C-alpha cells in the first residue's frame, strides 16, 4: 500500500473528463493538484472541465438518451450491465480501497470493508430492484383504466461529495442507470480518484454517452453543469449552502432536484439503555469516517442518572483513539480532508469554549506527525443546545455532549435544529422508543443500533437536510417521470356540446 502512495507521489495520476466514450484532451485545461491529506503530497493532477467540456458531456448524454439504445433497453439488458459494473468494482476492490484511503484519509479498514463493497452493492441492488418494481393500474369505472408508469427522466447531473466519494456517487449512478437514464457525473475536485477509475473500468459495459464524467471545482465545472439547459435533473450530496445555490440554478430551468445535505443528528441515550452498546455506538457515530459524515450522531444527549459514567468513558475512549496513517492497520482516525476542514475544527473548539462549553479532550491540531491535516478527536460538554457546536454541522471528529432529565425536554432539544437527517435513540423501554422515534423530525430514526443502511428504505432528510430520498422507491421518484395514461376500453358517455351546428 505504501508502495502505491510512493508510486503516486513519483508519477501523479492525470484526472480528465470522459465524454461520449472517450477521455478528453486535457490541453489548455486549468490544472488542480489533488492532495493526499496524510502526506500533503500531490497524488494526481486534475484537468478541469471547462464550460465547453461540460456542454459536450451534456450533449453526449442527451444524444445517448434521445437516440441511443439504453433508454429502450430491456430490464434484462439493464440488469446485465449493472451486474457487470458490480463485478468489476469488486474485482478491483483492493485497488479502489487503497486509492480512496490515499485520497480521503479515511482508514483503509473502512474503505475496504464499507465504502467499496457498498459502492458495488448499489449496482446489484438496483439490478434486482428493477426486476421487481413496476407501475400501477386503477379502474375508476368499468371500461376506464388509469395506468401509472415510470419513465426515465433523461439526463441526470450527479454531483458527489468528498467524504465517501465512490460509495455516494455510485448510489446515484446505479439509480440513474437502472431506470434507463444517461448521466454526467461530477465528483468532488478534492477526491476524484476512485470515481474516475471506475469510469475507466466500466468502459465498454454501457453504450457510449450513457455515462460521462466532468471534473473540476464547484464554481467552474459544477455551476456549468447545474445551469446547463440540457440536463433534466440534478442529484447532489454535499453541504447545505452549496445545495441551496444549486437549487437556485435548477429553479431557473424548472429542473428536478434531489438533495442530500448536512446533518446535526441527535443521539439520545436514556438511562435504561444498554450502556456498553450505547457507548460503542456513540463512539462509532461520532468518529467513523474521521467524523466526516452527514449522518454523524455527534450531538449526544445523556440522561443525568448515567451522565457522569457515560461522559467519563466516552472521554477516555476518545483520548485513546489511534490517530495516524490511514493506510496502516489499526488506525482509527486519519487526517481531515484538507487544511480548511482542520482549521474549521479548531475554530469550533474555540467557539465552544467562548460559549461556555467545557473541553473534555482534544480541541487542537494533532502535531505528533510530520505532515497531514490531523486534528485531535474532540469532545465537549455543552451548557445548552443553543451554542454553535450544538447547532452547526462541524463535519469532523467532534462530539458535543449535553445532559438531560426528561423525555419531553430531550425530544424538544433534539428537534431544535435546522437539520433533520437522522435521530439515534437508546432505551430498553419499547413504548418510549416508539414515542421518541415518532416525535423526532428526521428522515431516519435508529433505535438501539448505529447506522444501518437498508437500500429498500429511503435515506434523506427533513428540513435543511435535503429533498427527496435515496433508495428503492425514493430513487425511482428521483430518476423517473411518473406518467399517467388513461385508457377507455368502451365508448364514453359525455355531454355533446356545440350540437347547434349539426
Ligand atoms: O462541499 P460542497 P464542501 C458539508 C460539510 C462541509 C461543508 C462544505 O459540513 O464542511 O459541507 O464542504 C460541488 N454548483 N458537507 O464545500 O461545496 C463540489 O465541487 C455545482 C456535507 O467541500 O458541498 C463537490 O463536488 N456543484 C456532506 C460537491 O459540490 C458545486 C458532504 C460538494 O461540495 C457547486 C460534503 C456549485 N455552485 C460536505 N459548489 C454530506 N451531506 O455528506 C460546489 N459544488
Reported as a single tens digit per residue, the pLDDT across 53-67 is 999 999 999 999 999
Which residue minimizes the CA distance to atom 44 of ligand 1? 218
Q: Which of 260, 332, 376, 393 is catalytic?
A: 260
Known catalytic membership, residue 183? no
Q: Can you give the pLDDT at residue 227? A: 97
Structural domains for the chain: 2-261+465-485 (3.40.605.10), 266-447 (3.40.309.10)
The Cα–Cα gap between 310 and 80 comes to: 50
* Pocket of ligand 1 contains residue 222 by CB under 6 Å: yes
pLDDT at residue 67 in the model: 95
Q: How far apart are CA 37 and CA 44, in angstroms?
A: 12
Question: How many angstroms separate the most distant Cα atoms in the chain?
Answer: 94
Site of grid cell 464550460: 51
- The reported pLDDT for the residue numbered 142 is 84
Separation of alpha carbons 295 and 167, rounded Å: 14
For ligand 1, the distance from its centroid to the CA atom of residue 148, given in whole angstroms, is 36
Q: What percent of the chain has pLDDT over 90?
A: 97
> pLDDT tens across 139-191, in order?
988 889 999 999 999 999 999 999 999 999 999 999 999 999 999 999 999 99
Region 250-261 average pLDDT: 96
C-alpha–C-alpha distance, residues 423 and 297, integer Å: 7
Please tell me the distance from the alpha carbon of residue 159 to that of residue 236, in angstroms, as a whole number: 5
As a whole number of Å, the end-to-end CA separation of the chain is 86
Element (H, E) at 277: helix 275-287
240 CA: nearest ligand 1 atom: 11
Q: Whose CA is nearest to atom 13 of ligand 1?
A: 218
Instruction: Give me the residue label for grid cell 452549496.
Output: 242
- Segment 379-421, tens digit of pLDDT: 999 999 999 999 999 999 999 999 999 999 999 999 999 999 9
Of 85, 45, 19, 339, nearest to 192 by C-alpha is: 45
- pLDDT score, position 1: 79
Whether the per-residue pLDDT at 2 is higher than 90: the answer is no
**Does the beta carbon of 216 sit less than 6 angstroms from any atom of ligand 1?**
no
Q: Catalytic: 294?
A: yes
154: left (phi over 0), alpha (psi -120 to 50) or beta: left
The Cα 154–Cα 172 span in angstroms is 14
Report yes or no: 68 and 78 within 8 Å, Cβ to Cβ. Answer: no
Q: Is 218 in the pocket of ligand 1 (CB under 6 A)?
A: yes
Residues 116-133 have a mean pLDDT of 97
* pLDDT tens digits for range 336-352: 999 999 999 999 999 99
Contact assessment for residue 183 and residue 212, using Cβ atoms and an 8 Å cutoff: yes
Amino acid at each position: 500500500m505504501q508502495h502505491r502512495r510512493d508510486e503516486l507521489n513519483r508519477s501523479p495520476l492525470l484526472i480528465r473528463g470522459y465524454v461520449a466514450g472517450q477521455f478528453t484532451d486535457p490541453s489548455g485545461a486549468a490544472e488542480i493538484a489533488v492532495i493526499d491529506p496524510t502526506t500533503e503530497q500531490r497524488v494526481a493532477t486534475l484537468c478541469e472541465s471547462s464550460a465547453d467540456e461540460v456542454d459536450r458531456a451534456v450533449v453526449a448524454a442527451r444524444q445517448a438518451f434521445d437516440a441511443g439504445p439504453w433508454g429502450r433497453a430491456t430490464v434484462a439488458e439493464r440488469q446485465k450491465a449493472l451486474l457487470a459494473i458490480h463485478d468489476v468494482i469488486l474485482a478491483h476492490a483492493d485497488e479502489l480501497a487503497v486509492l480512496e484511503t490515499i485520497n480521503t484519509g479515511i482508514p483503509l479498514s473502512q474503505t475496504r470493508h464499507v465504502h467499496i463493497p457498498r459502492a458495488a452493492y448499489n449496482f446489484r441492488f438496483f439490478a434486482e430492484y428493477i426486476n421487481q418494481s413496476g407501475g400501477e393500474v386503477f379502474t375508476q369505472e368499468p371500461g376506464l383504466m388509469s395506468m401509472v408508469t415510470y419513465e426515465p427522466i433523461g439526463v441526470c447531473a450527479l454531483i458527489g461529495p468528498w467524504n465517501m466519494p465512490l460509495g455516494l456517487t455510485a448510489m446515484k449512478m446505479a439509480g440513474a442507470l437502472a431506470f434507463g437514464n444517461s448521466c454526467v457525473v461530477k465528483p468532488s475536485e478534492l477526491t476524484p480518484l476512485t470515481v474516475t477509475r471506475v469510469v475507466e473500468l466500466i468502459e465498454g459495459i454501457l453504450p457510449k454517452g450513457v455515462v460521462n464524467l466532468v471534473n473540476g471545482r464547484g464554481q467552474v465545472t459544477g455551476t456549468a453543469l447545474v445551469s446547463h439547459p440540457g440536463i433534466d435533473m440534478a442529484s447532489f450530496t454535499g453541504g447545505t449552502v452549496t445545495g441551496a445555490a444549486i437549487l437556485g440554478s435548477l429553479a431557473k430551468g424548472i429542473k428536478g432536484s434531489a438533495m442530500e445535505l448536512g446533518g446535526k443528528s441527535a443521539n439520545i441515550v436514556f438511562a435504561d439503555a444498554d450502556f456498553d452498546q450505547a457507548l460503542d455506538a456513540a463512539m462509532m457515530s461520532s468518529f467513523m469516517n474521521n467524523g466526516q459524515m452527514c449522518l454523524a450522531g455527534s450531538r449526544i444527549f445523556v440522561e443525568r442518572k448515567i451522565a457522569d459514567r457515560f461522559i467519563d468513558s466516552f472521554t477516555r475512549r476518545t483520548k485513546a483513539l489511534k490517530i495516524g496513517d490511514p493506510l496502516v492497520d489499526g488506525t482509527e482516525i486519519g487526517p481531515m480532508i484538507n487544511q480548511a476542514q482542520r482549521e474549521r475544527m479548531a475554530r469550533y473548539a474555540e467557539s465552544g469554549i467562548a460559549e461556555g462549553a467545557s473541553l473534555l479532550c482534544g480541541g487542537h491540531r494533532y502535531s505528533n506527525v510530520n505532515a497531514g491535516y490531523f486534528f485531535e478527536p474532540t469532545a465537549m460538554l455543552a451548557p445548552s443546545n443553543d451554542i454553535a457546536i450544538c447547532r452547526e454541522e462541524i463535519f469532523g471528529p467532534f462530539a458535543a455532549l449535553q445532559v438531560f432529565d426528561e423525555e419531553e425536554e430531550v425530544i424538544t432539544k433534539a428537534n431544535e435544529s435546522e437539520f433533520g437527517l437522522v435521530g439515534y435513540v437508546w432505551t430498553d423501554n419499547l413504548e418510549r422508543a416508539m414515542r421518541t422515534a415518532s416525535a423526532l423530525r428526521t428522515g431516519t430514526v435508529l433505535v438501539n443500533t448505529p447506522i444501518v443502511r437498508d437500500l429498500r428504505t429511503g435515506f434523506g432528510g427533513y428540513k435543511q437536510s435535503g429533498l427527496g430520498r435515496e433508495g428503492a422507491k425514493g430513487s425511482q421518484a428521483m430518476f423517473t417521470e411518473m406518467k399517467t395514461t388513461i385508457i377507455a376500453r368502451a365508448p364514453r358517455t359525455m355531454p355533446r356540446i356545440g350540437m347547434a351546428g349539426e
